[in-house]
Chains A and B, each alone.
Chain A
């Protein structure tokens, strides 16, 4: 079983540094002590195997120890961060939550609530198999959030091969598949996880310098802010070996700037979806934007320009929505791709496509061009309903210049002339003062 392998590895790594948080360094041995304390606490509170437990918190020694103790105890786990606070009641209900462990309170707060997960067929499956489970919510741009249920045992299997010990900044969200992927890779390989107290550029750069961080997994939005902030110039970041990026499309000009600034650092794209986990992938030589899924456990195919994936480690299904899998187990990722042999390049979400009079426009290709303009700090493109062409392209742009909207629009049109076909040139421009990304460092399309 995957969890037994992990527990053996923790023993094996006991003198390695496991976690750096708030200036303190904890070894794998200390992590083991915390896991044991949490296992005791679960027993004392009669949190039995098969019960559904929500964990509210962010990265900390306690949070990681508790996650491992819960997996070992075969619980079904719903990790949450305070950012989702307004959804908690709804999430607890959808996930049939029986216990809530709130790590943001001191002392930690454990509450029980009446619920019966056996009402749900997928939960019943997990409980009968005596496998630990993982529930993640996908935000989705429209409609009710969907609760994804994973068999944690299956999800962890791929980490058994994790060998390379890195010092990683664990930056991606605690309740997100990419965050989970980062910290389990570190745990299985005996690497060191550095937890930031905030996700501000300055703090991130300080930590990289101080703790000689080698791997920085981030989102393109964060990396753009990092360059804009100029903080990277003030710190010694030469320990960095790899920057991974994912969760939204990387604009080409940004990738180029990152390559220039972080000379010698490998920029690696990670592709992951809440429903499937993150398949191991390989980038095309010289172009990180093209990748191929490189694992016997994952099959892929392209249908109408959209990527479909089939894998044994996929989620069991949604708790509150019909199964999205085809009869023979394929999952439509909703990601539009360009294909070159075995390699694909992610163009964007099919649902974000803007249809201008029958012509398809990906918001990101517009953003890529506008972002190259002098004085553009950040930009988001989206579709806007229009009576004549069905939709038009609009942008919300944050500027560092004092231009009026019409001055900027004129400059933008001239700039786009030889870079975009006419129907892709933004027609409506809104200049904004506030930032264009959420607290999750992902662009918010309107």
Chain B
């Protein structure tokens, strides 16, 4: 009994919270927590995917006609940005694990850069839509698409908007990790936050991988 109790106080690195016995236990808890949180995120988006399935099943022709007004090349460009940012994120995690501070900083900055580029492209896409009069819901004012395209674009704005919100949250998290990396907080002994933000970032990427074909490549 006493060995276990002593073990808790034996070595106490600064990152280890008092209620954990070891760094390994703390890291495993944080990682499981992130995975469980990701499950929650997937269920959150599943509602939107179900709405998409139901409405596309009801109005296949409208979806076909409306999706042609989305810019495939911009969507494809954004897909490339996000996939590449996942690569740089993975490299950043690896660099943190191997205590390679400089390389971790570079890769985190690159990830942030790609994320910002994604937002810029999205901004141009949205403003072009608004320019045409393609607004969400009852503000929809573009008359050149047959059927009831406001339902498609309502979904488009909600789905991509929710995803963009996750990208913006991700940029905040990446920035936080970057600043902490600069202070030398992470090393081979402690890199959980980098790894878990990485998991989150891959999820954001993954959701886009599903959104892109569903919205831009209906044909």
Q: Are A and B associated in one complex?
A: no
Which residues from chain A sit less than 8 Å from chain B, CB to CB?
A: none
Q: Could you tell me which B residues sit within 8 Å of A by CB distance?
A: none
